[in-house]
Amino acid sequence: MNRRGITVRAGVLAVVALLAAACGSPGKPVDPAPVGEAAWPQPAHVGGPDASAGGGSDTSCNPLASLAPDKGISIPDGSTMAKIKERGKLIAGVDQTTYLFGFRNPTSGNLEGFDIDLVNEIARQIFGAPEGHVQFRAITSGQRADVLKKQQVDIVVRTYSITCARKKDVQFSSVYYVAGQRLLVTKESKATKLADLSGKKVCAAKMSTSAAKIATDPAKLVAITVDNWSDCLVMLQQGQVDAISTDDTILAGMAAQDPTLQVVGDRFTQENYGIGVPKDNVDMVKFVNAVLENIRNSGAWQNSYRRWVEPSLGPASPPQPQYQ
Amino acid sequence: MTSTATAPGPTAPAPGPPPSPPDGRDRAGGRSGLLGLLDLPGQGVRAIVRSAATTPGRLTVIAVGLVLLSLVAGLAATLSVQDRDDTISGVIDHREPLAAAAQQVYRSLSDADATAASAFLSIGTEPPELRQRYERDVAEAGAALAKAASDASDVADAAAPVDVLNQSLPVYTGLVETARTNNRLGYPVGASYLREASELMRAKILPAAQDLYRVDTERLIDEQDSATGFPWLATILMLALLAALVVAQVYLTRRTNRLLNVGLVVATAAVVVSLLWGAVALIVQGSLVGGGQDDGSHRVDVLVRARIAALQARADETLTLVARGDGAAYEKDFGDNAAQLVGPDGQGGLLGEARGLIKDGDGVAKVADAAKAANDWLKAHKEVRAQDDAGQYQEAVDFAVLEDKTDGSAPAFRRLDDSLQAAIDVGRQEFLDDTHGGDRALTLLAPGLAVLAIVAAAGVTMGIRERLREYR
């Protein structure tokens, strides 16, 4: 009986083994809907390192020396300003995405900010009042030189740093604001300088001096470049980059839109903002410099600064102009 | 002799063991089952050949052959008609609704993109009607996508775009909501979220939706073609059966000197009726389904492509304004899409093609409405560009997005979209009417052919048995 039981069991085992060999193993349950990595969507035209703007370290010229204004603000016949007046519109290349300096206020639909105030002051000196006499043209950082070279705009007021490389193509007014490059990171981040971000992704706008600094810094950063500064903010909020590095003015505007971010570290560059003018319009440069003199002395600069920048960056006074 | 005649086929060799050599039989018996089985067909053929040497045997072979042929031909014809019936039902119940769902996915998503951009352009709180429109677009896209996805599993070409759409749509809506929240807070980063959402839509989602529409439309055309193809096998078998019946009757007449054999005549009549009925039904069905393709789904396809071009152009128009001076690429894109829609002269393009195709029915008026609305819109667009280029940005925005500017862009585009939708609905109705008619032409044909085949088989059996009886 017992022996027979063993035989039967052996037989059953043999049959099972045979069936298993015939059918193969049952395998593993199939993943019904495999998903590769869920990639983040990206802003349009995201690129890599871009050093085309050149650095602020270029000392082949004195970038700050502009053309001295004539006495008083005047519009001679046949001048560039007279043509603008006849046209009825001052065409200004500005930013509509940089909070505090040039941005579209969604509740009013208007462009506002420190740079926009300057444009309005220049229009006021040409037309008597800025309302209805300014045509704003939103441009990216990368388009600033291009629209000036093609004479598509009369002025560019868009956190435009004066450098020797740029002065070859366009004219700059005297310095109206001095900023410096710093870092914007999340409050959890321990980074306080570029060296802390070695191998990490750092974002800047294309063809900006900040992008050039990131691309050439010895810290070996992974440079990410985008069209507009607020595209950098989107990517930082989505965790696609680890930091944004550019002028403290722009970073302050970003930090004001997101309480979980903070501006850290010291200024490691000096950025001198000037108003860009087409290369040949010498009279326009002198005119703009005269308007800037007026803005510095009349208190208009302080008013605008107090409204937009002071809450984030503390008190400051206008930089002194230098002329050739 | 008589006994062998009534027992034809493989049983025939049973009474005749002597002819087979004893050793051969021994060998066969000696072989174990499997090889013996292999020998069976050979034995059968030999037996048939032997019995066919006699008249009753020959008659039996003829009877069996004719019965088999009528059953096989009847089965082939029935299956072929049933298959065609199923194909047409599939076209009506699955393929066409799927192609429509795919175009709905595209339309809703593209409209959502343009609407989100319009809402962004409006000042302050976004207009509730734009918000509602966006919500409805997203809901429609989701519902249409679920429908399109339900049938994508058996087509790899459709599964890939459905996968992309299903994965990207929630991400898109998330980005739009983030943009909206920032916008409400007065933060310009909202505009960047909107641009990122729009980029996702235009670079990834809409191309996938277009792929899906293309795949579903190609499948619709394939199945329409297969529902109008010629049923070669069934036709050849039926004609062969008819010829065999005629030959058999001629043979019987010669052998028996009787002019008619009622059974065989009935069988022949059944086959002739099958052929005529089948031919008429298939011709009617083929022309109706073909009509559904030409008057219905082909026109719909042209109209859908016109609508896709219009939707893209509308999104380009709003995004040019969102870019505020930085929208040259969008404006160029608008030009390309407008040229696709109405042609370089404003008379051709996809709308011109639709006008050429639709010469009758309610569709004519709808397409004419669409063409007029398209021209109004392009005129309004020129005005928008002129204002924006002259620096009157706010006026340009109002003219482009406000629904109450009667000669503005928004109402003209709305009229264009509604007219195209109406024309598409007309085309779908015509498709449905025609194809349904084609389906009706096949009513009862499949069971009818089966019954007629059985009648033919029965006629053959009766007719030949009558003759065989005379040999008893």
Which domains are assigned to chain A? Answer: 74-178+272-314 (3.40.190.10), 181-264 (3.40.190.10)
What is the average per-residue pLDDT within A137-155?
90
Look up residue B23 and give its DSSP letter.
Answer: H
The answer to whether the CB atoms of B188 and A99 lie below 8 A apart is yes
Give the whole-angstrom CA distance, residue A32 versus residue A15: 33
* Confidence at residue B374, expressed as pLDDT on a 0 to 100 scale: 94
Q: Minimal Cα distance from B202: which residue of A? A: A44
- Chain B positions touching A35 (Cβ under 8 A) are 167
Task: Indicate the average pLDDT of chain B.
Answer: 86
pLDDT > 90? residue A189: yes
Q: Which domain holds residue B390?
A: 56-469
ipTM above 0.95, yes or no: no
User: Considering the domain boundaries, does residue B297 fall inside one?
Assistant: yes
Closest approach of B201 to chain A, Cα-based (Å)? 10
- The owner of tokens 């800047």 is A204
Could you give the count of Cα atoms lying within 13 Å of B457 in the half-sphere of its Cβ? 17
Q: Minimal Cα distance from A38: which residue of B? A: B167
pLDDT > 60? residue B3: no
Distances in Å between the Cα of A21 and the Cα atoms of A7, A28, A114, B43 are: 21, 17, 80, 40
Closest approach of B132 to chain A, Cα-based (Å)? 20
Q: Minimal Cα distance from A109: which residue of B? A: B123
- Model confidence at A24, pLDDT cuts 50, 70, 90, reads low
Look up residue B205 and give its DSSP letter.
Answer: I
Look up residue A61 and give its DSSP letter.
Answer: S
- Model confidence at B25, pLDDT cuts 50, 70, 90, reads very low
* Confidence at residue B13, expressed as pLDDT on a 0 to 100 scale: 42
* Confidence at residue B14, expressed as pLDDT on a 0 to 100 scale: 42
Cα–Cα nearest to A174, from A277, A269, A317, A79: A277
- Chain B positions touching A44 (Cβ under 8 A) are 195-196, 199, 203
* Confidence at residue B79, expressed as pLDDT on a 0 to 100 scale: 93
- Collapsing DSSP states into helix, strand and coil, what is residue A205? strand
Least confident of A105-109, A305-309, B211-215: A105-109
Give the whole-angstrom CA distance, residue B331 versus residue B321: 9
* Confidence at residue B379, expressed as pLDDT on a 0 to 100 scale: 94
Look up residue A27 and give its DSSP letter.
Answer: -
Give the whole-angstrom CA distance, residue A147 versus residue A54: 19
User: Considering the domain boundaries, does residue B43 fall inside one?
Assistant: no
Mutation choice for B interface testing from A104, A131, A158 by most B CBs within 10 A: A104
What is the average per-residue pLDDT within A9-36?
69
Which amino acid is present at B269? A
User: Considering the domain boundaries, does residue B362 fall inside one?
Assistant: yes
What is the average per-residue pLDDT within B322-343?
87
Mutation choice for A interface testing from B168, B173, B196 by most A CBs within 10 A: B196
User: Considering the domain boundaries, does residue B3 fall inside one?
Assistant: no
Distances in Å between the Cα of A238 and the Cα atoms of A211, A242, A249, B416 are: 20, 10, 22, 38
Give the whole-angstrom CA distance, residue A230 versus residue A250: 9
Phi, psi at A54, each rounded to 5° = 75, 160
Closest approach of A250 to chain B, Cα-based (Å)? 12
Which amino acid is present at B376? D
A171 interface with B at CB cutoff 8 Å: no
- Collapsing DSSP states into helix, strand and coil, what is residue B1? coil
The beta-carbon neighbor of A107 closest among B124, B197, B324 is B124
B51 φψ region: left (φ > 0), alpha (ψ -120 to 50), beta (else): alpha
- Model confidence at B406, pLDDT cuts 50, 70, 90, reads confident
The answer to whether the CB atoms of A136 and B324 lie below 8 A apart is yes
The beta-carbon neighbor of A230 closest among B171, B191, B323 is B191
Cα–Cα nearest to A210, from A194, A187, A190, A234: A194
* Confidence at residue B148, expressed as pLDDT on a 0 to 100 scale: 82
Answer whether B423's CB lies under 8 Å from B370's CB: yes
- Collapsing DSSP states into helix, strand and coil, what is residue B351? helix
- The owner of tokens 């019954």 is B451
Closest approach of A283 to chain B, Cα-based (Å)? 24
What is the average per-residue pLDDT within B433-450?
91
The answer to whether the CB atoms of A89 and B200 lie below 8 A apart is no
Maximal CA-CA distance, chain B:
114
Give bridge partners of residue A278 from the DSSP assignment.
A170
User: Considering the domain boundaries, does residue B18 fall inside one?
Assistant: no
* Confidence at residue A60, expressed as pLDDT on a 0 to 100 scale: 76
Give the whole-angstrom CA distance, residue A158 versus residue A167: 16
Strands A134-138 and A261-264: unpaired
The answer to whether the CB atoms of A106 and B123 lie below 8 A apart is yes
Using alpha carbons only, how large is chain B's radius of gyration in Å? 35
The share of chain B scoring above pLDDT 90, in percent, equals 50
The answer to whether the CB atoms of A106 and B204 lie below 8 A apart is no
- DSSP-derived secondary structure for B90-130: HIIIIIHHHHHHHHHHHHHHHHHHHHHHHHHHSSSSPPHHH
* Confidence at residue B385, expressed as pLDDT on a 0 to 100 scale: 92
A96 interface with B at CB cutoff 8 Å: yes
Look up residue B269 and give its DSSP letter.
Answer: H
Answer whether A161's CB lies under 8 Å from A56's CB: yes
* Confidence at residue B24, expressed as pLDDT on a 0 to 100 scale: 41
The beta-carbon neighbor of B192 closest among A35, A91, A233 is A233
What is the average per-residue pLDDT within A32-37?
76
Least confident of A168-182, A248-262, A297-311, B47-61: B47-61
The answer to whether the CB atoms of B167 and A35 lie below 8 A apart is yes
- Model confidence at A29, pLDDT cuts 50, 70, 90, reads confident
The beta-carbon neighbor of B192 closest among A106, A137, A234 is A234
- Model confidence at A15, pLDDT cuts 50, 70, 90, reads low
The beta-carbon neighbor of B123 closest among A35, A109, A234 is A109
What is the average per-residue pLDDT within B265-270?
94
* Confidence at residue A142, expressed as pLDDT on a 0 to 100 scale: 84
The answer to whether the CB atoms of B196 and A42 lie below 8 A apart is yes
The answer to whether the CB atoms of B391 and A230 lie below 8 A apart is no
Q: CA B99 from chain center: how many Å? A: 9
The beta-carbon neighbor of A105 closest among B186, B192, B394 is B186
Mutation choice for A interface testing from B172, B189, B393 by most A CBs within 10 A: B189
User: Considering the domain boundaries, does residue B236 fall inside one?
Assistant: yes
Q: Could you tell me the two tokens for B52?
A: 């066919």
* Confidence at residue A18, expressed as pLDDT on a 0 to 100 scale: 61
Could you give the count of Cα atoms lying within 13 Å of B56 in the half-sphere of its Cβ? 16
- Chain A positions touching B200 (Cβ under 8 A) are 41
Task: Indicate the average pLDDT of chain A.
Answer: 88
The answer to whether the CB atoms of A137 and B397 lie below 8 A apart is no
Burial class of residue B34, CB neighbours in 10 A (0-12, 13-18, 19+): exposed
A140 interface with B at CB cutoff 8 Å: yes
* Confidence at residue A83, expressed as pLDDT on a 0 to 100 scale: 94
- The owner of tokens 């395998």 is A27
Look up residue A39 and give its DSSP letter.
Answer: P
Q: Could you tell me the two tokens for A41?
A: 């969507």
Q: Minimal Cα distance from A91: which residue of B? A: B391
Size (chain A), residues: 324
Rounded to the nearest 10 degrees, what angle do helices A248-255 and A229-237 cross at? 50
* Confidence at residue B27, expressed as pLDDT on a 0 to 100 scale: 46
What is the number of domains present in chain B?
1
Give the whole-angstrom CA distance, residue B278 versus residue B420: 39
Q: Minimal Cα distance from A103: which residue of B? A: B188
- Collapsing DSSP states into helix, strand and coil, what is residue A103? strand
The answer to whether the CB atoms of A96 and B196 lie below 8 A apart is no
Maximal CA-CA distance, chain A:
126
Strands A90-94 and A134-138: parallel
- Chain B positions touching A38 (Cβ under 8 A) are 167
Q: Could you tell me the two tokens for A235?
A: 């990517």
The answer to whether the CB atoms of B167 and A38 lie below 8 A apart is yes
* Confidence at residue A113, expressed as pLDDT on a 0 to 100 scale: 94
The beta-carbon neighbor of A43 closest among B185, B188, B196 is B196
Sign of the Cα pseudo-torsion (B241, B245, B251, B256, in order): positive
User: Considering the domain boundaries, does residue B371 fall inside one?
Assistant: yes
Report angle CA A120, A123, A127 to the nearest 5 degrees: 135
Give the whole-angstrom CA distance, residue B313 versus residue B328: 13
The answer to whether the CB atoms of A41 and B124 lie below 8 A apart is no
The answer to whether the CB atoms of B189 and A106 lie below 8 A apart is no
Residues on chain B bordering chain A, Cβ-to-Cβ distance under 8 angstroms:
120, 123-124, 167-168, 171-172, 175, 182-193, 195-197, 199-200, 203-204, 323-326, 390-391, 393-394, 397
The answer to whether the CB atoms of A42 and B323 lie below 8 A apart is no
Give bridge partners of residue A224 from the DSSP assignment.
A203
Q: Minimal Cα distance from A33: which residue of B? A: B163
Closest approach of B159 to chain A, Cα-based (Å)? 11
Distances in Å between the Cα of B306 and the Cα atoms of A139, B110, B144, B370, B417 are: 33, 13, 20, 10, 10
- Chain B positions touching A99 (Cβ under 8 A) are 187-189
Closest approach of B322 to chain A, Cα-based (Å)? 10
Distances in Å between the Cα of A223 and the Cα atoms of A97, A204, A267, B150, B286 are: 21, 8, 19, 43, 63
Cβ partners under 8 Å of residue A185, min gap 6: A191, A242, A243, A244, A261, A262, A264
Distances in Å between the Cα of B149 and the Cα atoms of A33, B135, B164 are: 13, 21, 11
- Collapsing DSSP states into helix, strand and coil, what is residue A305? helix
User: Considering the domain boundaries, does residue B4 fall inside one?
Assistant: no
* Confidence at residue B8, expressed as pLDDT on a 0 to 100 scale: 42
- Model confidence at B296, pLDDT cuts 50, 70, 90, reads confident
* A 268-307 residues with CB < 8 A to B: none
Look up residue A163 and give its DSSP letter.
Answer: -
Answer whether B399's CB lies under 8 Å from B409's CB: yes
Spatial strand order of the sheet with A181-186 comes to: A222-226, A201-205, A243-247, A181-186, A261-264
The answer to whether the CB atoms of A233 and B200 lie below 8 A apart is no
Using alpha carbons only, how large is chain A's radius of gyration in Å? 30
The answer to whether the CB atoms of A41 and B200 lie below 8 A apart is yes
